[in-house]
């Protein structure tokens, strides 16, 4: 099932198009990473998904229905970029108040379990005016989770968190994914998206410039694989010549950097045959690694390249 679907979603402000005819699908059970530089239009896109902002044209479908977020409020949890809280409340009081307000009152046990899940158990009774930005971010995630939604829309869920809390939040997102939840998230942390997201879309100048799994993006970025092979630092010149002859015979482009041999192959399927070819020459290989472009390299590249 497609949990999120947009058709030609467009938003213009005073004649300037900020989001331009975006057609996007998010399947059930995905961790979908939505990337874009500041000003690319991703916040506007999320605001239209969550009914904060009405589109100029186009449609938003949630759970295959064009009914808006209010009709699906028990199925969706949202973490906006900035959340507002009552400073004189504690975290427990806030979640109790919020769940009552949303019409789906949570039990005290559910509230405390949720606060423990996001790492706020020890601070659950503190007034929110004492909370740091990172603690408020965790509370925002707890608020999104309190009614056990099927879909989570998380805008920068790890921004403002310390390193330990970032790791905790990433593990939580993976855990929620394993429970069958769908997560649509934005992030400026490209390593994070590369590590945990199953699908990725990159937005540039109001349009989706690239979309797919990390593997699919890597293949669009680079048509070949580079295999890096570590040989002995004392490899004889005669063995280098034997390697060169064998690789030339197979029409494989290659180069040396000290005792590292770099070989380009056209597909993953060609890697085992390359390794077998080298093993037949009885040349010792101490390490073999496939160099692939990182998400950062793909993100920073001009779209014309891709």
CA nearest 218: which of 210, 207, 228?
Answer: 210
- Residues 32, 157, single domain; the answer is yes
Say whether pLDDT at 107 is over 80: yes
- Of the pLDDT bands very low, low, confident and very high (cuts 50, 70, 90), residue 40 is confident
- Residues 205, 57, single domain; the answer is yes
Q: Choose the final residue of a domain: 202, 219, 236.
A: 219
How would you classify the pairing of strands 260-265 and 207-212? unpaired
pTM of the predicted model over 0.85: no
Please state at what angle helix 163-178 crosses helix 108-118, rounded to 10 degrees: 120
Total number of domains constituting the chain: 2
- Residues 253, 115, single domain; the answer is no
Q: Could you list the residue range(s) of the whole structural domain that residue 34 is in?
A: 2-219
- Residues 237, 259, single domain; the answer is yes
Residue 301 lies in a domain: no
252-302 pLDDT, tens digit per residue, is: 999 999 999 999 998 888 899 999 999 899 989 999 998 888 899 888 875
For residue 135, how many other CB atoms are within 10 A of its CB? 20
- The tally of CA atoms less than 13 A away on the side-chain side of residue 262 is 9
Residue 303 lies in a domain: no
Residue 306 lies in a domain: no
Q: Choose the final residue of a domain: 167, 202, 219.
A: 219
Q: Where do we find the tokens 């160099």?
A: 291
66-88 pLDDT, tens digit per residue, is: 887 888 888 999 998 777 899 99
- Give pLDDT, residue 303: 52
Q: Choose the final residue of a domain: 166, 196, 219.
A: 219
Residue 108 lies in a domain: yes
Residue 36 lies in a domain: yes
Positive or negative, the Cα torsion across 85, 154, 147, 91? negative
- Residues 87, 226, single domain; the answer is no
CATH number at residue 232: 3.30.70.260
- Residues 147, 270, single domain; the answer is no
- Residues 185, 268, single domain; the answer is no
- Of the pLDDT bands very low, low, confident and very high (cuts 50, 70, 90), residue 9 is very high
- Residues 130, 241, single domain; the answer is no
Residue 302 lies in a domain: no
- Residues 259, 130, single domain; the answer is no
Average pLDDT, the chain: 91
- Of the pLDDT bands very low, low, confident and very high (cuts 50, 70, 90), residue 43 is confident
Beta bridge partners of 262: 228, 255
- Of the pLDDT bands very low, low, confident and very high (cuts 50, 70, 90), residue 305 is very low
- Residues 101, 134, single domain; the answer is yes
> How far is it between the farthest Cα atoms of the chain?
78
- Residues 233, 201, single domain; the answer is no
Containing 243, the helix (H) or strand (E) segment is helix 237-249
- Residues 291, 149, single domain; the answer is no
- Of the pLDDT bands very low, low, confident and very high (cuts 50, 70, 90), residue 11 is very high
Residue 203 lies in a domain: yes
Residue 285 lies in a domain: yes
CATH number at residue 164: 3.40.50.300
């Amino acid at each position: 099932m497609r949990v999120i679907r947009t058709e030609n979603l467009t938003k213009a402000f005073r004649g300037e198009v900020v989001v331009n005819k975006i057609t996007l699908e998010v399947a059930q059970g995905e961790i979908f990473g939505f990337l874009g530089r500041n000003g690319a239009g991703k916040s506007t896109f999320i605001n239209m998904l969550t009914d904060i902002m009405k589109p100029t044209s186009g449609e938003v479908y949630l759970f295959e229905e064009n009914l808006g977020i209010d009709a699906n409020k028990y199925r969706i949890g949202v973490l906006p970029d900035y959340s507002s809280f009552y400073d004189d409340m504690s975290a427990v009081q806030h979640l109790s108040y919020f769940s009552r307000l949303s019409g789906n009152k949570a039990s005290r046990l559910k509230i405390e379990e949720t606060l423990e899940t996001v790492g706020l158990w020890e601070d659950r009774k503190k007034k929110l005016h004492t909370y740091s930005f990172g603690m408020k971010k965790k509370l925002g995630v707890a608020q999104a989770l309190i009614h056990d939604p099927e879909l989570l829309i998380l805008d920068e869920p790890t921004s403002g968190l310390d390193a330990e809390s970032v790791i905790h939040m990433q593990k939580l997102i993976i855990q929620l994914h394993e429970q069958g939840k769908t997560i649509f998230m934005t992030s400026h942390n490209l390593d994070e998206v590369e590590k945990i997201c199953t699908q990725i879309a990159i937005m540039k100048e109001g349009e989706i410039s690239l979309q797919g799994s990390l593997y699919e993006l890597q293949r669009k970025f680079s048509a070949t694989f580079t295999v890096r092979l570590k040989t002995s630092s004392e490899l004889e010149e005669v063995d280098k010549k034997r390697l060169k002859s064998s690789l030339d015979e197979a029409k494989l482009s290659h180069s040396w950097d000290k005792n590292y041999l770099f070989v380009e192959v056209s597909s993953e399927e060609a890697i085992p045959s390359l390794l077998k070819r080298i093993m037949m020459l009885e040349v010792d290989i101490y390490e073999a690694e496939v160099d692939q472009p990182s998400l950062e390299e793909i993100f920073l590249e001009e779209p014309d390249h891709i």
